[in-house]
């Protein structure tokens, strides 16, 4: 990872640390769909990608023109990449990039008319976005054309050894600034809170 980030070259902060998708590519490639039948990803004996794959979604004949006719079918197939113990989990969500959500729902927005019933139906569909039967979740800095099927509880925040957590809050009800800090990981002291009146 880069010592100094380059936000122009890496707008999704890819040079800061490995993301979820990269960990899957490297650690469990069998759970990563890097390409469809029409353009599969190829790797050498060391597991290094030699040719990038692609998955084609859209109108056309499955197997000769496209891999899937719609994004819902792609997510259904993606669920099969999960370990069988997790496929039936009712907390699964599809974390998706902005473009994929727009591709699915733009035609609905574009086709809805000016009548109140059509607008209401459109708003109900848009407020409960689903892809492949899973809730569609968007997160910041996620690739615009990617999908990650997981549970939200599976996503964790980790602290690096030698760092500390800190929260400063202006508590207007008590007319004070609250400074809560945890010591660096591995330190013997206990978390501390400092409260200062205004």
Q: What is the pLDDT of residues 69-85, one digit of tens each?
A: 888 888 998 899 888 99
Side by side, which strands form the sheet with 134-137?
A: 130-131, 134-137, 92-96, 147-151
φ/ψ of 27, rounded to 5, equals -90, -35
* Of 168 and 109, more confident: 168
Side by side, which strands form the sheet with 166-171?
A: 166-171, 176-181, 192-197
Q: What is the pLDDT of residues 27-52, one digit of tens each?
A: 887 777 777 777 777 777 776 666 66
DSSP 49-79: EEE--B--BSSS-BTTTBSBSSHHHHHHHHH
> If DSSP codes are grouped into helix, strand and coil, which group holds residue 165?
coil
Beta strand pairing call for 92-96 and 134-137: parallel
Q: Which uninterrupted H or E stretch holds 37?
A: none
In which band, very low, low, confident or very high, does the pLDDT at 93 lie, cut at 50, 70 and 90?
Answer: very high
The domain locations on the chain are 83-152, 166-197
pLDDT of residue 193: 47
Asked if the model's pLDDT at residue 21 lies above 90, the reply is: no
Asked if the model's pLDDT at residue 10 lies above 60, the reply is: yes
Q: What is the pLDDT of residues 99-158, one digit of tens each?
A: 887 777 777 777 777 777 777 877 777 777 888 889 888 887 788 888 889 898 887 666
Q: Contact at 8 Å (CB) between 126 and 106?
A: no
Give the pair of three-digit tokens for residue 13. Answer: 């902060």
Least trusted range by pLDDT, from 85-89, 98-102, 139-143, 185-189: 185-189
Asked if the model's pLDDT at residue 187 lies above 70, the reply is: no
Return all residues near 173 (Cβ < 8 A) that are at least 6 apart.
none
Could you report how far apart the first and last alpha carbons of the chain are, in Å? 42
Asked if the model's pLDDT at residue 92 lies above 90, the reply is: yes
Asked if the model's pLDDT at residue 165 lies above 90, the reply is: no
């Amino acid at each position: 990872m880069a010592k100094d980030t380059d936000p122009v070259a890496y707008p999704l902060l890819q040079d800061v640390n490995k993301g979820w998708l990269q960990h899957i590519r490297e650690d469990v490639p069998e759970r990563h769909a890097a390409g469809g039948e029409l353009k599969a990803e190829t790797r050498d004996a060391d597991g290094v990608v030699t040719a990038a794959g692609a998955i084609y979604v859209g109108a056309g004949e499955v197997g000769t023109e496209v891999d899937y006719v719609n994004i819902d079918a792609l997510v259904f197939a993606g669920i099969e990449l999960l370990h069988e113990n997790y496929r039936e989990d009712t907390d699964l969500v599809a974390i998706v990039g902005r473009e994929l959500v727009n591709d699915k729902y733009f035609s609905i927005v574009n086709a809805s008319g000016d009548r109140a019933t059509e607008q209401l139906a459109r708003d109900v569909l848009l407020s409960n976005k689903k892809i492949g039967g899973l809730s569609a979740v968007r997160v910041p800095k996620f690739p615009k054309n990617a999908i990650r099927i997981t549970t939200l509880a599976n996503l964790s925040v980790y602290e690096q050894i030698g760092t500390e957590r800190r929260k400063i809050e202006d508590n207007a009800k008590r007319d004070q600034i609250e400074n809560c800090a945890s010591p660096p990981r591995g330190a013997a002291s206990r978390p501390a809170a400092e409260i200062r009146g205004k």
